[in-house]
Structure 1
Amino acid sequence: MDLKINREMIPVTETILDDMQEQSVELDYVLPDYDPDIFRIIGCEIQPTIINYTTGTDRITYELRADIRVLYCGSGSTLLQCVSQQMTFSRSIELPRPTDSPTVHLRPKTTYANCRAVSPRRLEVRGAVSVQIRVTGDRKQEIIRDVFGMHVQLRKTPVEYAAQKRCAMKNMILNEDVELGTSKPPIRNIVRSEVRLDHQEQSILAGKLIVKGEAEVHFLYTWQQEDGSNGLEQMQFTIPYSQIVDMEQIDDSYRGNADVQVIRCDLKPTAGKNGAMDLVQCEIELRMRCTAVKTAAVQLVTDAFSTLYPCEQSTVSLQIDMAPEPVHANLMCSATLHPGDTIPECIYDLHCQVRNINMQLLSDTNRIRISGMLCCSLLARDTEGMPMLLEKEEAFEVYTDSDTPVDNATLQAQVEPTDCTYHLASDGTISIKANLLLHGSLCPSARHTCLSDLTVDGENKLVRDGDYALKLYYGVEHENVWDIAKRCHTSVGAIMEENDLTDEQLTTPGMLFIPIVH
């Protein structure tokens, strides 16, 4: 009988690029005439955002926006002033090799931000941001699925893999007019704002991915009464969203996921019905990166031999991706701040960020280890009524269990502080607790060495050490029956049947009867 080999093409994901780009941020700013002179700088921050990107076969081009915010006080005043500026940069990076339909992940973060007053009317900001760039691409790999004839025995491993992938990108705009209410003073100036996206829900319906969630808007603003008294006030509100994303050919057999990111949040104070600035016009732009994956199963041929003829085989090592699993966990960490000589009289606002995040998959315990720095900024007021910014960075290390095996998996996730609380003790010590939200996807994969080619020499038979139909073999504990069968040029099934074995790995040492098959 001639040798017949059945082959199949399966998709294999490869990492094309995993790199970091740095971008310096430099701003020389002259205050407009209506702003007071700079007396004391309270704080400075730079918030980076990827607002757009395009992909080609050999290059990734993206637009990076840096939102710069400087807080200061004028001479003889306790009213907090805010300078807000935006800078946009266009960057590109070449891919090591061309690829069709690459998957791109861009994660920006602030490296550092410094500010100084060159003169009472001029600010100088110096900082840097970095962008983590990860690009993957799919290619087709031919594998051997089955072999018939020439007395060939096969060793197979069942594998589930991502057979079909669909991707779509869509931006959406949320608009909402929010009234402050009678308990809140009118807005003079918005000092800081942020948007937190609540956990989304996804469902698939007839070629469409339905994404639902909520955008929680938090902002801090200054107020000033006619008598000259002033202060800071917080405000928050929630905007629900629901979006339908067209994704051709997907159905219930696919598993959908949406990565939603905030592109911008524009807050504009406006006059309400009574003429006071007690109305906020909010416009939020979100970018949804949607994926849908359909899995399939295949039997990979990992080894082969003939019971009658010599064989030669070629192998290939493949990293095969399975369907991504959503990751969602709430983790707690804390920090302690000692103000020193200047004890705050009250705290207006607590803002937490995380930096230098390192996420490690622990296969021995099937857990995820997250470490980094918790960066806390407290905007407070001293006993003289002057605004002050208290900052503290504290290392943290937290763990969470994974419902999916993390061995050989890739974690594509973000860590963001959500609920942050503080306690101000009588001695001025401030205890901070932060809830960290881990959200993203765990992409399981496995590396398999499988056959890419097999050649059987049908002209020459194997030479045995004797003419017999049965031989004795002493097996050791944990020895694999396949290895015994290959060494003795017989079949796994014949050994297991002759010795009444139920497991392909020996549980105890002992003598085995090895039937010789042809």
Structure 2
Amino acid sequence: MELELKKAGFDTYEIGGELTLTQEETAETIVPDYCPDIARIIETEGRVFLHSRELRDGKAELSGTVRVTVLYTPEAEGGIRTLEFAMPFTVESESRALPECTVLTAQTQSEFLESRMLNPRKIFTHCKLVSRLTGYRRLPVEFCTDAASEDETLCLEKRQERQRVFLLTHIAEKDFTCSEEMNLSPGRDGAAELLSSQVTSSVTETKLVGSKLILKGVFTVSLLYRTADGRCCSSTGELPFSQIMEVEGAAEGAVASVMLQLTGTDLQIDGGDPEGRQIAVTLYLHATVLLRQELEVTLLSDLYSTAYDVAYDAAPLALTGFWEPMTRRQNVREVLEIGVVADTVLSLSVTCGTVNVSREGESVVLRTGAAVRALYLDEGGVPLVAERTVEVSCQLELPEDCTVSARAVCADEVQGSLTAGGIEVRFPVDFRAEAASRSKRVCITAARVDTEHPKDLSGAPSLVLRCLGKQENAWDLAKRYNTTIPAILAANQLEGEEALPRDQLLLIPRKRG
């Protein structure tokens, strides 16, 4: 007799593949006629903008631009000049590297960027890019929760397990534009020309209201600019933002993980401000939101009958049983030794590299290299750059069986001051991590009861006396000796399974038919 089983299911996303791709780009750039000749390159900065990401038949393709800014000292002139140009790039994975994936998330960073002068009118730029791709596939999950039969003569005993699971139910994407006016820091002179800029983002709040997800956060914009009298100054400001994304069918209480990536920037001095103290900031962004829902499900994991032989089919079911997002901040304070006497610090920047994850037991250590760069003037007014990579680490306590993915960012303004030994810098590094563990649970998929041949228990003893084994539980005893858990508890005058002793003999009555 085929036993009818109750079934349940859900749809979820799971990671179908992860790739890390590296490539190098080079370019020769002619200095435009309106720019003066280059005497010396001071530093090179780059911002990576991803414009498109496509996934077709398991093959991923990214395209974007590295927006390069070269600061240099001009020949026969003082001060600092800037040269900007774009280096387009395309990243492709091998065919079928992400099979069956339907959604692609990607992040591309510049791991190395350098420009050198070929002659006063031409420079050579070398850039190394690292792209991290994750493909997600839609996965329907079905499982049995109970045996549907109400026939008491079958004498069925069922083992049902309650399991907490975390489901990635929605992946939503949106391109949006943020336009704001930024005022230069109080006490700063107005800007005549913008030399370079840096933009970092931080999501501070997410809220799900019906089918709408509200995102709130802050952009931190740092500027290096030249004043009307030729001096260089810097200024940093925070621009709050909020966005609404449509997420149809999202469950109340779902938790959002948000990734923001710049796809372009446009910063200009406001022409309506004669003092040059207002900067028109337009930021173009791509937002990716992963929504996770916590559920408690019931799995039918074992089955037997005290009256008939039962045969069943079972299969492992992989579920995410633990997931936790976290942010840990580490405050860093370091001194950049410069070997000369500095007069003024013009700008400071921090770029965090890849996060390495190591663990021992339940202790997880996250490490990243924070590249610190300071642009300053020596006492003769010559612009110079000091660089140093600082290792920053963070320790977490997490279950041994979980995996951890993390990235590190410096989303706040970098503080700095001149000291006798060089330039002291102070900045925070935020480790944004997600810990998850997947476990396999055996779940019955089909069951059959041999109702034509009842069990022959005529020769079986009516009572067994034994201790509970180290690896045994009440279910194991009941199934082995063809009885039930309530019968064992009643025979030993115990109120619950948790009261079963392991060092005392137990009375195990057999149930006959």
Alpha-carbon distance in structure 2 between the residues aligned to 1:416 and 1:253? 27
Of stretches 481-490 and 288-297 in structure 1, the one that deviates more from structure 2 is 288-297
Q: Please identify, of 474-483 and 169-178, the stretch whose mean Cα deviation from structure 2 is larger.
A: 474-483
Deviations 1:126-184 (A, max 9, x none): 12101011112231233221124644433222123356823332222122234547833
**Alignment counterpart, residue 162 of structure 2, candidates 158, 162, 166:** 158
Going from structure 1 to structure 2, the CA distance change for 1:208 and 1:361 (only over 3 Å counts) comes to farther
Greater shift, 316-325 or 112-121, is seen at 316-325
Deviation at 1:443, TM superposition (A): 4.9
Q: SS of the residue aligned with 1:32?
A: coil
What amino acid is aligned across from residue 314 of structure 2 in structure 1? T
Determine the structure 1 residue equivalent to 2:69: 69
- SS of residue paired to 1:486: helix
In structure 2, which of residues 484, 496, 503 is the aligned counterpart of residue 509 of structure 1? Answer: 503
Distance change in 2, residues 1:269/1:235 (3 Å): same
Residues 308-344 of structure 1, C-alpha deviation per residue, up to 9 Å, x if partnerless?
Answer: 444444433333236965433322234443223x343
Secondary structure of the 1:475 match is: coil
C-alpha spacing 1:411/1:262, structure 2 compared with 1 (3 Å): farther
How far residue 504 of structure 1 moved from its aligned partner, in angstroms, is: 4.4
In 2, Cα distance between equivalents of 1:297 and 1:362: 30
> Residues 166 and 295 of structure 2 are in contact (CA less than 8 Å); yes or no, is this contact kept in structure 1?
yes
Q: How does 1:34-53 map to 2 (within 5 A)?
A: 34-53=34-53
Structure 1: how far apart are the matches of 2:3 and 2:158?
A: 13
- CA distance in structure 2 between the partners assigned to 1:198 and 1:182 by the alignment: 24
Change (3 A) 1:7 1:57: farther
Name the structure 1 match of 2:409: 416
52-61 or 37-46, which deviates more: 52-61
Asked if the contact 1:317–1:448 (Cα under 8 Å) also holds between the matched residues in 2, the reply is yes
Residue 488, structure 1, aligned to residue 481, structure 2 = yes
What pairs up with 1:199-348 in 2 under 5 angstroms? Answer: 199-223=203-227, 225=229, 230-250=230-250, 252=252, 254-274=254-274, 277-321=276-320, 325-340=324-339, 342-348=340-346
Counterpart Cα distance in 1 of 2:98 and 2:19: 14
Secondary structure of 1:510's counterpart equals coil
Partner of 1:192: 196
Q: Is the 8 A contact 1:205 1:251 kept in 2?
A: no
Give aligned pairs, total.
Answer: 505
Q: SS where residue 39 of structure 1 aligns?
A: strand
CA offsets per residue over residues 238-270 of structure 1, 9 Å max, x none? 332222222223463544454333322211124
State how far apart, in whole Å, the 2-side matches of 1:182 and 1:96 are: 52
CA distance change for structure 1 residues 506 and 270 in 2, over 3 Å: closer, same or farther? same
Residue 369 of structure 1 is matched in structure 2 by: 365
Q: Identify if the C-alpha distance between structure 1 residues 14 and 186 changes in structure 2 by more than 3 Å, giving closer, same or farther.
A: closer
**What's the secondary structure of 1:384's corresponding residue?**
coil
Give the 5 Å matches for 1:11-90.
Answer: 11=11, 13-56=13-56, 58-90=58-90
Aligned to 1:398: 394
Between the aligned partners of 1:124 and 1:268, the Cα distance in structure 2 is: 27
Q: 1:437 is matched with which residue: 430, 439, 442?
A: 430
State the 1:411 CA deviation. 4.6
CA distance in 1, matches of 2:189, 2:415: 23
SS of the residue 1:91 aligns to = strand
Q: Please tell me whether the aligned partners of residues 481 and 505 of structure 1 are also in contact (alpha carbons under 8 angstroms).
A: no
Matched, 1:474 2:464: no
What's the counterpart of residue 125 of structure 1? 125
**Counterpart of 2:391 in structure 1: which amino acid?**
A
Check 1:471–1:273 CA distance in 2 against 1; reply closer, same or farther (3 A cut).
Answer: closer
- Relative distance call for 1:272 and 1:363 in structure 2 (3 A) is farther
Q: 1:13, 1:319 within 8 Å by CA — same for their partners in 2?
A: no
Deviations 1:221-243 (A, max 9, x none): 13351xxxx43211223332222
In the TM superposition, residue 31 of structure 1 has moved relative to its aligned partner by 0.7
Partners of 1:60 and 1:23 lie apart in 2 by 15
Please say if 1:380 is aligned against 2:384.
no
- Give how far 1:459 is off: 5.0
TM-score, with length taken from structure 1: 0.86
Moved more, 258-267 or 377-386: 258-267
CA drift at 1:514: 0.6
Q: Secondary structure at the match of 1:34?
A: coil
Structure 1's 497 and 104: CA in aligned 2 closer, same or farther, altered over 3 A? farther
Helix, strand or coil: the match of 2:486?
helix
Counterpart of 1:221, as a letter, is Y
Distance across 2 between alignment mates of 1:216 and 1:47: 15
Unaligned runs of 5+ in 1: none
CA distance in 2, matches of 1:78, 1:489: 94
Deviation at 1:468, TM superposition (A): 2.4
Deviation at 1:478, TM superposition (A): 6.6
What is the alpha-carbon distance in structure 1 between the residues aligned to residue 251 and residue 297 of structure 2? 21
Distance 1:208 1:444, change over 3 A: farther
Change (3 A) 1:114 1:216: closer
Q: 1:511 to 1:465 in 2, by over 3 A?
A: farther
What displacement does 1:379 show? Answer: 0.6
Corresponding residue number in structure 1 for 2:421: 427
Post-superposition CA distance 1:418-450 (Å, at most 9, x none):
24333433133x443321123465556443233
Q: Sort the Cα spacing of 1:188 and 1:201 in 2 relative to 1 into closer, same or farther, 3 A.
A: same
Rounded Cα–Cα distance in structure 2 between residues aligned with 1:306 and 1:179: 77
**Relative to 1, partners in 2 of residues 1:308 and 1:64: Cα closer, same or farther, differing over 3 Å?**
farther
| SS of residue in 2 equivalent to 1:248 | coil
Shift of 1:293: 4.1
1:23-60 per-residue CA deviation (whole Å, 9 max, x = no partner) reads 32211011112222222222223332323223445333
Aligned-residue CA RMSD in angstroms? Answer: 3.1
Q: How big is the shift at 1:360? A: 5.3
How far apart, CA to CA, are the structure 2 residues paired with 1:426 and 1:253? 54
Contact 2:3 2:446 in 1 (8 A): no
Q: Distance in 2 between matches of 1:98 and 1:286?
A: 28
Judged with a 3 Å threshold, the aligned counterparts in structure 2 of structure 1 residues 156 and 333 are, in CA distance, closer, same or farther, namely farther
User: Bigger CA drift: 465-474 or 368-377?
Assistant: 465-474
